[in-house]
Amino acid sequence: MRTLTVSTQRAGAYPTIRDALEVAPDGATISIEAGVYPESVRLARQRVSLVAAGEAGSVTIDGSGAGAPTIACSGAEVTLRGLVVAGGDYPAVEATGGRLTIEKCEVRTGYAAGVQVVDGAVVDATDVKVLGGQHGFVLSDAGGVLDTCEVRGISDDGIIVRLGANPTIRNCTVADCGYRGVYVYQGGRPTIEKCDISTTGDAGIVVAHQSAPQISATWVHDTRGVGISFGPGCGGLVETTRVEQTAQPGIDVAEGANPTIRAEEPTAGQPRVGVQAVSGATTQDTEKVEKLLAELDSMIGLAGVKAEVRALIDEIQVNEWRRSAGLAVGGASHHLIFTGAPGTGKTTVARIYGQLLKALGVLPNGQFKEVSRRDLVGQYIGHTAEKTTKVFEEAMGGVLFIDEAYTLSRAGGASADFGQEAIDTLVKLMEDHRDQVAVIVAGYTDEMLTFLDANSGLASRFAKTLEFENYAPDELVLIVNRIARNDDYLLAPGLGDALLEWFGQIERDRNFGNAREARKLLEGMRKAQSGRLRSLGRMPDRDDLRTLVLDDLLVATR
């Protein structure tokens, strides 16, 4: 993935975004340094990212005098990140077909839509603020997701969904609109969940022309018109949704409309919806948390690691209680470093940690993706950033576990440069998506210190380092016992003492595999048992088949 720099100050950089786009190959990233860029951008059938090089909001693309949309995408695959986009009486951002990803952007325009998505386009908008315009978002024959977006100061409708559009609108705040908060018509079928819709000049949500939205866990309040209105021929669902301080009736269903209404009765306090509550709008499954902690406790050894994980979980739970009490809660990183020799349970603990974060409501799915250097590093310049980004996106919502992460920072040869590119890409992604994924890097203790020195911002991305110590001999005997029992084997009397002696005298160099050594030894004992049973001269009975004896150990360690 090639990166082109745009700057009005730096020598050698492209002076305008359009200049960079003229030479940008497919898949390129246009990195835009801080400043105001008075231009409009046209993107047709391109795959490109326009990204603020510095803090979100440091770059303004101002097309208010262009007589056209500021950013117009046609059949393109475009990512916008960290930008302020200003328009005139045309949409600030317009996508016709293709795919638009817009993150951490602020949009404002004149008598037009802030973001307009039409003709089969798909939009993924996260943490986008539309703070001025005739409409906020307009989705027409389009799909996608609006997540944690804010629409304010709109002269007409905040969000329009029409012509069969079926987006998911989640954790969004729509307020201070001159007309309706959300207008769904012409067969629109959006999913509206956990949204805060208020202070509209007319109704909060209006459904018309054969439309059927799914509205859940939403708060509609303080509107001059009714809370939710269903016109003739419309259906859909309203459930666990509070409608209060609106014109009467709160939910108006016209003759000929047939939505399912399971509205929530008003209760004391403000429901936790919209962008202001998204950091704490999670549901904790305490029963699942306790089961996972019990599973962690059942692991052999690792007393220090277990204590550290419990401390992390305690902090997350207490922060949730503080949010519920209306107290401030600081931002927290869920990225971790696991150090220690192989076979000490790092992968298993990482899996449990991901499931704990899911049960605590921190991550949506807790999925586990394990990768190594070959999954992240490409074979030519630019390929690595593309591979790393793809892997990272696949792990979103869960845990990305990078084993032997120190191999990315090994010195020597061109491959080291590619490894460095993977590290630099990870640092940026970990910060941009710190609430959407947990990255765990693992490896030998000394080598991981070198890895952390590979990028000045890398160490600060991780919340904590967990040291996995080698298993003691008695713990390795317990591991052998557990593996054998799970595989329906028994250890003959006296074999445990012999195993303890063996593990006590074996050399513990950097190649020692801990639990892997235990499993490898057990495999050798099983093979020895097979040879022993074949030479009995009779059919072995059930006890013979299940029991491992001292001779099997002697053969396996010979």
Classify each residue of 309-347 as buried b or exposed e, where b means 16 or more C-beta atoms within 10 Å of its C-beta. Answer: beebbeebeebbeebeeeeeeeeebbbbbbbbbbbbbbb
Write out residues in the chain with pLDDT < 50, as ranges: 268, 279-282, 411-416
Asked if 151 and 177 touch (Cβ cutoff 8 Å), the reply is yes
Question: Cα–Cα distance between 454 and 431 in angstroms, integer?
Answer: 17
- Residue in 156, 151, 148, 111 with CA at minimum distance from that of residue 131: 151
Question: Cα–Cα distance between 299 and 297 in angstroms, integer?
Answer: 5
Q: What is the 3-state secondary structure (H, E, C) of 74-102?
A: ECCEEEEECEEEECCCCCCEEEECCEEEE
Q: Provide CATH code, domain 473-556.
A: 1.10.8.60
The pLDDT value recorded for residue 136 is 97
Token pair, residue 378, equals 């490409």
Q: What's the first-to-final CA gap in the chain, in angstroms?
A: 53
Domain 282-468 matches domain 473-556 at the CATH topology level: no
Token pair, residue 446, equals 């000394």
Task: State which CATH number among 3.40.50.300, 3.90.226.10, 3.90.76.10, 3.20.20.140 fits the domain covering 282-468.
Answer: 3.40.50.300
Asked if 489 and 362 touch (Cβ cutoff 8 Å), the reply is no
Question: Cα–Cα distance between 451 and 109 in angstroms, integer?
Answer: 45
The pLDDT value recorded for residue 416 is 46
Distance of CA 154 to CAs 131, 201, 245, 274, Å?
7, 10, 21, 17
Which residue do the tokens 């393109």 mark?
A: 76
> Does residue 417 come out as left (phi exceeding 0), alpha (psi in the -120 to 50 range) or beta?
alpha
Question: Cα–Cα distance between 241 and 274 in angstroms, integer?
Answer: 13
- Residue in 160, 212, 209 with CA at minimum distance from that of residue 186: 209
- Residue ranges per structural domain of the chain: 3-214, 282-468, 473-556
- Other C-beta atoms within 10 Å of 353: how many? 26
Superfamily of domain 3-214: Single-stranded right-handed beta-helix, Pectin lyase-like (2.160.20.10)
Token pair, residue 313, equals 């979980």
Cα 182 → chain centroid = 27
The pLDDT value recorded for residue 412 is 43
Question: Cα–Cα distance between 386 and 380 in angstroms, integer?
Answer: 11
Asked if 352 and 292 touch (Cβ cutoff 8 Å), the reply is yes
Question: Cα–Cα distance between 308 and 304 in angstroms, integer?
Answer: 6
Question: Cα–Cα distance between 171 and 186 in angstroms, integer?
Answer: 24
Asked if 60 and 82 touch (Cβ cutoff 8 Å), the reply is no
